[in-house]
């Protein structure tokens, strides 16, 4: 069995022994910068893929909402017609409209409550702030 001392030095070991510290740090900075750019590109690709899937899903949900709307419309007409046999078509229309008004008011109150519960930006903005300054790419402002 051979020990690590018996193995020939790798290219990285040779480089570390021959290059000055400043050049090694420069290489390290360049490599970290390249890694960060690659990670950003990967995130963009993943985001695009997710957005495509979300778009398809949103389209299907919109279709389902439209079908649900048409269903509720015809059920409302059926209720209006059935109540019309009991109290007359005019009053039955008022009754159905009041029912829908109550539903709209309840949904509006619940929606406003949900919207008021939103507290600023998503957590991603917080985690980006935690990246150490040494890992952020160097950007110089030109004025």
Report pLDDT digits (tens) over 67-112.
999 999 999 999 999 999 999 999 999 999 999 999 999 999 999 9
**Which residue ranges make up each domain of the chain?**
12-130
Closest C-alpha among 128, 102, 142 to residue 39: 128
Q: How far apart are CA 31 and CA 12, in angstroms?
A: 14
pLDDT value at 124 more than 80: no
| Nearest residue to 40 (alpha-carbon basis) of 131, 112, 102 | 131
pLDDT of residue 142: 46
User: What is the average pLDDT across 126-136?
Assistant: 63
DSSP 9: P
What is the DSSP code (8-state) at residue 136?
S
Q: Using CA atoms, how far apart are residues 51 and 59, in angstroms rounded to an integer?
A: 12
Is the pLDDT confidence value at 50 over 70? yes
Q: Token pair of 133, please? A: 């300054």
pTM confidence score: 0.47
Q: How far apart are CA 93 and CA 85, in angstroms?
A: 12
Secondary structure (DSSP) of 63-122: HHHHHHHHHHHHHHHHHHHHHHHHH-HHHHHHHHHHHHHHHHHHHHHHHHHHHHT--SS-
pLDDT of residue 10: 83
Q: 23, 126 in Cβ contact below 8 A?
A: no
């Amino acid at each position: 069995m051979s020990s690590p001392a018996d193995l020939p030095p790798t290219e990285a070991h040779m480089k570390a022994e021959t290059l000055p510290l400043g050049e090694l740090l420069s290489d390290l900075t360049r490599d970290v910068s390249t890694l960060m750019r690659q990670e950003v590109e990967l995130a963009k690709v993943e985001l695009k893929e997710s957005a495509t899937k979300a778009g398809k899903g949103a389209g299907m949900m919109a279709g389902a909402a439209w079908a649900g709307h048409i269903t509720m419309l015809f059920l409302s007409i059926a209720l209006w017609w059935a109540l019309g046999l009991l109290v007359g078509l005019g009053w039955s229309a008022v009754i159905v409209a009041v029912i829908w008004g109550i539903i709209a008011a309840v949904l509006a109150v619940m929606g406003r409550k949900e919207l008021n519960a939103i507290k600023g930006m998503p957590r991603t903005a917080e985690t980006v702030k935690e990246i150490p300054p040494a890992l952020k790419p160097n950007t110089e402002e030109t004025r």
